[in-house]
Structure 1
């Protein structure tokens, strides 16, 4: 009886201590279940953040330095290539040859993990398959996070050992149930914290690369870069800037879910622009061109400008009608580090009071948002 009494008393003290520490968030050295700090992906210490960006990558630079601090690096770049699918396959093989691996790949966007010790080598080797640009890098210092998680996990394991000993010494059903309940809770905490520690350590051991692979040539129509340079207005295609008008031009209705962008007359061109809450842009604008020019000519110039100036590919053209007027519809895609961007322009050539004019409607944005609004935009152009 006396031994049982002491066991019950000891268990009560242990459980009471755990409850008190859990309630008041005591320091990790307390002999009970420690508080669990947020993992690194939830909190990124600003004091340990750094970033670089450049159009390209220097072969002599070492971006991913190893030190006594446990740094989690993320990086990204755009790779311009002749054949996108072949280049993506080569990048996957390159990562695997360095004990890295492909996390996911979708329509020109790749997420790749490479051991930090070989990350600089991977970055420089990627240049063999195309032109590297838009490079950026950031780092998060996880030293304190991993150290704290390790200490807390060690305390939890010691507590589990003590609870196991108490369970072996339990003499009554009530004692066994109390110890088993606490043991199950501590075991669950250990499993959760082990996963968090492993995740943080993986971020330190591997650099996460986000790579956008784009084809340089796309579907380029006939023409030369020199030709498009003679028409300054071609640089306005796929532009996010607002216009001076309060309403869409050409009698076009504003598509549902779009709101006009606030105008700022200073430095603005004529036209109208609106935006959706998911980053799609809808624009209408016009441009005077030489009389007696042909729509086919402007189709080639616009496609060329989209390809060479804006890095769009998969450019396609088809006949269309803009409010009953013969027009062309141009669609294209651009792969960026932020994901796939879809683009559409409808262009008509009209005679206004003896002068030829291009009437232009543009719609572009992230792939999923574009698909969501495409029908509403097309309906607005046909009404």
Structure 2
């Protein structure tokens, strides 16, 4: 194989593959529908095609931190979740911090169940839309995979050591890029299926005699201004 021809062909292949990454999401949806043997329906719900990543966090006050922690872990396991980390503070209140992973469709239900174990002091659910990133990654993976396959063909057709080494170097670079892209989309897929939930459990504070006195005084002061 002529070396100058090889050096011309590789940039040309790169250019051809990169141009399709500028396809609009609607073009990609139409192409996917054609491959599946159907056309996109204008009546379909757009939200069903969104790629959403959910996560949550909450803080809870309970009478017994150890018992509350056991109840939370049991609820998580019953909901097909897992405990990733568990850290306990060595102080009088003995707070426990849990990092959990929950099936995304069970996240808010699990948070509701955990909330019944004590007093909720904070609760937050965060949803991140990564649809555009997902579409871009899919296009890049398809393009990079096509380029890798083309380079494999060039490698088989090469007739000189110099050409073989050049194609092998380019093939190794493209394969590494493809592995990174596929790893990223795999991570998004896993996150889409399972949500992370952070739970902090602390012991409910019980005021002493002075605390009760102050609380009673404050209640009386409020009633001077507001009856109900």
Taking the aligned partners of 1:18 and 1:191, their CA distance within structure 2 comes to 19
**Superposed, which structure 2 residues align to 1:120-131 within 5 Å?**
120-131=108-119
Q: Secondary structure at the match of 1:140?
A: strand
Instruction: Flag the 1:21–1:88 CA change in 2: closer, same or farther, 3 A.
Output: farther
**Superposed, which structure 2 residues align to 1:92-131 within 5 Å?**
92-107=73-88, 108-131=96-119
Instruction: Flag the 1:169–1:109 CA change in 2: closer, same or farther, 3 A.
Output: same
CA RMSD for the aligned pairs? Answer: 2.7
- Gaps of at least 5 residues in structure 2 are 24-46, 89-95, 219-228
Matched residue, 1:13: 8
Instruction: Flag the 1:221–1:116 CA change in 2: closer, same or farther, 3 A.
Output: closer
Instruction: Flag the 1:87–1:14 CA change in 2: closer, same or farther, 3 A.
Output: farther
Instruction: Flag the 1:136–1:29 CA change in 2: closer, same or farther, 3 A.
Output: closer
Task: Name the structure where helix makes up a greater proportion of residues.
Answer: 2
Matched residue, 2:140: 152
2:65 counterpart of 1:79: no
TM-score, normalised via structure 1 length: 0.44
Taking the aligned partners of 2:99 and 2:116, their CA distance within structure 1 comes to 19
Deviation digits for residues 246-265 of structure 1 (CA, Å, limit 9, x no counterpart)? xxxxxxxxxxxxxxxxxxxx
- Gaps of at least 5 residues in structure 1 are 31-65, 233-383
The structure 1 residue matched to 2:48, chosen from 45, 49, 67, is 67
Taking the aligned partners of 2:156 and 2:193, their CA distance within structure 1 comes to 40
Q: Which one has a bigger Cα radius of gyration?
A: 1
Deviation digits for residues 220-262 of structure 1 (CA, Å, limit 9, x no counterpart)? 5742653122677xxxxxxxxxxxxxxxxxxxxxxxxxxxxxx
Instruction: Flag the 1:193–1:142 CA change in 2: closer, same or farther, 3 A.
Output: same
Task: Name the structure where strand makes up a greater proportion of residues.
Answer: 1
Asked which structure has the greater RCO (Cα within 8 Å, sep 6+), the reply is 2
Runs of 4+ in 1 over 4 A off after TM superposition: 18-22
Number of residue pairs the alignment of both structures matches:
188
